[in-house]
Amino acid sequence: MRHLALLLAALPAATLAAAWYALRPAGPAVGAWRLAAVRAGVVVGAYAVMTVELLSAVGALARTGLCVAWLAGLAVAGAGAAFRHRTDPPRSERRRWARLGTVEWLVVAGLALIAAGTLVVALAAEPNNWDSQAYHLPKVEQWAANGSVGMYPTNFFLQSALAPGAEYLLLHLRLLTGGDLLYNLVQWGGGLLCALAASRVAAQLGAGRLGQLAAAFVVATAPAVVLEATSTQTDLLAAAWCACAATLAVGVAWSRSGASDTLLLGAALGLATLTKSTGMVVAGLMVALWFAVRAARVRSSRAAARLAGSGLAVTVAALAITGPFLARMAVTYANPLGPPEVAAHAMGRQDPPAVAVNAARLLQTATMVPDKDLNGVAAQAVRRFASSLGEDVTDPLTTRAAGYPAPYVGDDEDISGLPVQAVAVGAGLLFCLVRRRALPYALTCLVVAIAFAATIRWQWYVTRLLLPGLVVAAPLAGLAADALARRVRAIAAAGLAFVVVVAGYTGVHAILFGSPRPLYGTHSVLYAGAWQSRFSRMPEYLADYRWAAGTVRAAGAERVGLVNNDTATGTRFEYPMWVLLRGLRLVNLSSTVPGQPAPPSTSVNAIVCFAPPPPDCAAHVPPGWQLHHHGNVAVALPATP
């Protein structure tokens, strides 16, 4: 059965590989194979999303339907690859690269080491990201059980209202394999696509080999990138779609690529929007860059009409991907953006002082270092800056949850900073603002930073939300490194080698010791048991959950009601119960989703309460049932005769 699951999971991978070959440029192109990877990623990603929506609409969202869809996709991609191989075989003359220098060898070795290390962790670790336990993965289970991505009863708006693009891709793996064995590979692939696309943007803007490698290295060594590349979070996948939008936008704007790349630009925008709101901001600004550059060159009404047509094509492609989800939000919440709680996660003020203070907070949090005193000095500088503007640095309209500043906790996937990479990107931005060729792109990245400061409410976990901005700005660091190496070779080589070693150290350290999936040490993913890995965030819950699952199964229950009313803090820990009770039907017994009332308690054979204080749990227990407590969990069962 396991071999069959892996064979079915190979269908999307084979389709992607065939599409990569089929979609390589027919003529000369900057970074041709990287462009092919971007095209293939966007095409296959869009196909996966639209397949989910279509199969859901016709009631065929199950393993059989997906197998048929992927076999069809593989047939088309394979035919395209075969046609390209016959009509345009690989050229015998390959581009000759000069011998790699010392710094370049360091970069290549570092990239290979990080790619291999994160792949090992991604394959060895169980999905144990906190957000995934609470809402990313439970909704995948609900969709798989319902055979539909439509709305379902839940009292946790993060399950019902957040953009589901990444979870759609996970749903393919869930239905094809029957489990979560390969879930982490989605984000790992997103990280690889980020590095490829960032290096290609650097090449498009004029960087040489070193600059392209440097852009990829800035992305790959960021601790937040390394840690997310082995998880089921969504920020890195959103960043990948933004990077695809960036390289497609630059290509369509300056080199006037064909209509196909214009459509792919719209698809990348749709994928980024469907994955995360930060992706919508960044990819949207990349589309705006393309439109502005092309509009500046319009000299006739005919050219203006062509540009308008291209803009319409981009919009239609984006809506083809995001439209069904936005329509469900509009029908359910009378707003395509979802319920008011979603807006509460964004900045509550956009006046200049509030945005300026938030920018300072974001910068300080993203650049924290392993030195409490230095972090304290930086945080105090932010407080003084806020005070000088008459602002409260902990204003509840611009901050969330715990107060400012965030503590430094080392390499943790939710809080880890990226100080070396942020400095490199900042230096690259300043450098490119005075370089004519890169100026429009640099200005767009600056607008991205301002947009983040105006929209992202500060929180402890804010660094990972900045990843799309880091990835699209990384080419600027590559351009600066390339120019520096050309002008002052001896000094630059030593300086760049030092930066490469420091940045590489931060990336490798995150692989070896990063929480909650370290590769090395007593808690290594290579030695920890599967359940110890799943509960690494809340080990005290493991015995309770096992007891609850054993009690439910011993009672012979087939339909189980879930009760978790801890929605204010979002500390629910739901997904492990889905894994423990695999094969049973789980439903929520409370719901705040309009038009989706919760089923009655009498419709289930057992009830599991995640937060068991009597007012929360007992209210859902039918008369005559017995309620059993065990630590953090309670189980209600019909009374035995």
- The model's pLDDT over 159-214, given as tens digits with 9 standing for 90+, comes to 999 999 999 999 999 999 999 999 999 999 999 999 999 999 999 999 999 999 99
- Name the H helices within 88-229: 102-124, 130-131, 137-146, 157-161, 165-177, 184-204, 209-221, 223-228
- The model's pLDDT over 303-336, given as tens digits with 9 standing for 90+, comes to 999 999 999 999 999 999 999 999 999 999 999 9
- The model's pLDDT over 334-347, given as tens digits with 9 standing for 90+, comes to 999 999 888 877 99
Separation CA 63–CA 54 (nearest Å): 14
Read off the tokens for 522: 């007593």
Q: How confident is the model at residue 89 (pLDDT cuts 50, 70, 90)?
A: low
Read off the tokens for 445: 């990245």
Q: How confident is the model at residue 424 (pLDDT cuts 50, 70, 90)?
A: very high
Separation CA 411–CA 117 (nearest Å): 15
- The model's pLDDT over 475-492, given as tens digits with 9 standing for 90+, comes to 999 999 988 887 766 566
Q: Write down the pLDDT at residue 487.
A: 74
Is residue 641 over pLDDT 80?
Answer: no
% of the chain with per-residue pLDDT over 70: 95
Cβ(33)–Cβ(24) below 8 Å: yes
- The model's pLDDT over 588-616, given as tens digits with 9 standing for 90+, comes to 999 999 999 999 999 999 999 987 666 77
Percent composition of the chain: helix, strand, coil (DSSP 3-state, to 5): 65, 5, 30
Q: Write down the pLDDT at residue 613.
A: 63
Q: Write down the pLDDT at residue 1.
A: 62
Name every residue whose Cβ is closer than 8 Å to that of residue 308 and which is 6 or more positions away in sequence. Answer: none
Read off the tokens for 399: 């901050």
What are the helix and strand counts (H, E) for the chain?
26, 5
- The model's pLDDT over 240-295, given as tens digits with 9 standing for 90+, comes to 999 999 999 999 998 766 789 999 999 999 999 999 999 999 999 999 999 999 99
Q: How would you classify the pairing of strands 606-609 and 633-638?
A: antiparallel
How far is residue 196 CA from its own chain's centroid? 16
pTM: 0.96
